[in-house]
């Protein structure tokens, strides 16, 4: 696989949210507004890229028997850095994301990539993999947050922390409140997954057809 393929893999074919269905806790919890989703996505991307690079660099040093604790320490270090930097630069967002920032440590995507990819590949490829997975995760979060914020809150792009009041899409008191509440997270993601399944089934069917036509 070429490097750009490694990168694209995380965004489409193995998208962490829509394909691997990993990292569900932050996905469901913080997707109440696009800004929150974006913030969580970027924080996770930073941790994913950094930990992938470091673990790839140390892949010949870390003994197999203690690899998991080593990975956890590396990941937890970058998570704490993100936590501190976010608290010092965007305190409002930091407060909203709250406990889910330290919980990036146990995001299955990150430990999963360390174990399945970074520990077996060169630094360059590990970097691309981290970036692709991170951006794939961020895109998934933003897409889910988009639906929840627009339909549930009736607003788009509210970001009080950055002095942005957003646009009202649905008149006040007419929005589907349920979508912004916890059940709405499950249901919106379920419907989104079904939609993507349908779409990719259609796409691959079309591809098959095109392939046969060409023969």
Partner 1 sequence: MVDLLLISFGAIFISNFVLARFLGICPFLGVSRKIETALGMGFAVIFVMTMASAITYGVQKLLVRHGLAEFLQTISFILVIAVLVQFVEMILRKTSPGLYQALGIYLPLITTNCAVLGVALINADPGEGYNFIQAMVNGFSGGVGFTLAIVLFAGLRERLEFAPLPKAMEGFPIALILAGLISIAFLGFSGFRLQALLGL
Partner 2 sequence: MSKNKKIMEQLRLVLVLTLIAAFSGGILAVVNHLTEPRIKELERQATNEALALCLPGAGDFQKEESLPAGAGADVSEVYLGYVNNEPAGVVVKVEPRGYGGKISMMVGVTAGGKVAGVKILSHSETPGLGAKIKKDDFLQQAAIRESGLENPPALVRDGGKVEAITNATISCRAVVRGINQALAVAESFFAPADGRLGTEADGERGDGEG
Binding site for partner 2 (CB under 8 A): 32, 58, 61-63, 65-66, 69-70, 73-74, 76-77, 80-81, 84-85, 87-88, 91, 95, 152-153, 175, 177, 180-181
> For the stretch 195-210, what's the b/e string if a residue is b when 16 or more beta carbons lie within 10 angstroms of its beta carbon?
ebeeeeeeeeeeeeee
Contact 25, 104 (CB under 8 A): no
- How far apart are CB 188 and partner 2 at their closest, in Å? 14
Question: CB within 8 A of 11, min separation 6: which ones?
Answer: 132, 135, 136, 139
Question: From the list partner 2, partner 1, none, which binds 88 (C-beta under 5 to 8 Å, kind-based)?
Answer: partner 2
Q: Could you say which of partner 2, partner 1, none residue 195 binds, taking C-beta under 5 to 8 angstroms by partner kind? A: partner 1
Distance of CA 206 to the CA centre of its chain: 29
Q: Which two tokens stand for residue 113?
A: 């990539």
Residue 165 interacts with partner 1 (CB under 8 A)? no
Burial 122-158 (b: 16+ CB within 10 A, else e): eeebbbbbbbbbbbbbbbbbbbbbbbbbbbbbbbebb
33 three-state secondary structure: coil
DSSP state, 151?
I
183 binds, among partner 2, partner 1, none (CB under 5 to 8 A by kind): partner 1
Smallest distance from the beta carbon of 37 to partner 1, in angstroms?
13
Taking CB within 5 to 8 Å according to partner kind, which of partner 1, partner 2, none is near residue 93? none
Residue 13 binds partner 1, judged by CB under 8 A? no
User: Which residue among 4, 5, 12, 69 contacts partner 1 (CB under 8 A)?
Assistant: 69
Cα distance between residue 59 and residue 121, in whole Å: 8
Taking contact as CB under 8 A, which single stretch among the options 79-87, 134-142, 149-157, 160-168 is the one that binds partner 1? 79-87
Residue ranges binding partner 1 (CB under 8 A): 21-22, 24-26, 28-29, 68-69, 72-73, 76-77, 79-80, 83-84, 99, 102-103, 105-108, 111, 178, 181-187, 189-191, 193-195, 197-198, 201
């Amino acid at each position: 696989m070429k490097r750009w393929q490694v990168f694209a893999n995380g965004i489409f074919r193995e998208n962490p949210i829509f394909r691997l269905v990993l990292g569900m806790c932050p996905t469901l919890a913080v997707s109440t507004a696009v800004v929150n989703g974006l913030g969580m996505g970027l924080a996770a991307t930073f941790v994913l890229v950094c930990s992938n690079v470091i673990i790839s660099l140390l892949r010949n040093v870390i003994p197999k028997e203690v690899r998991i604790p080593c990975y956890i320490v590396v990941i937890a270090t970058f998570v704490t850095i993100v936590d501190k930097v976010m608290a010092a630069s965007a305190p409002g967002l930091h407060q909203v994301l709250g406990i889910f920032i330290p919980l990036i440590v146990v995001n299955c995507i990150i430990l999963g990539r360390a174990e399945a990819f970074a520990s077996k590949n060169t630094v360059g490829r590990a970097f691309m993999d981290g970036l692709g997975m991170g951006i794939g995760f961020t895109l998934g979060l933003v897409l889910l947050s988009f639906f929840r914020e627009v339909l549930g809150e009736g607003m788009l792009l509210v970001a009080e922390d950055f002095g942005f009041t957003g646009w009202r899409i649905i008149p006040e008191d007419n929005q589907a409140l349920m979508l912004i509440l916890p059940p709405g997270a499950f249901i919106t993601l379920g419907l989104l997954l079904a939609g993507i399944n349908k779409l990719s089934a259609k796409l691959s069917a079309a591809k098959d057809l095109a392939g046969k036509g060409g023969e």
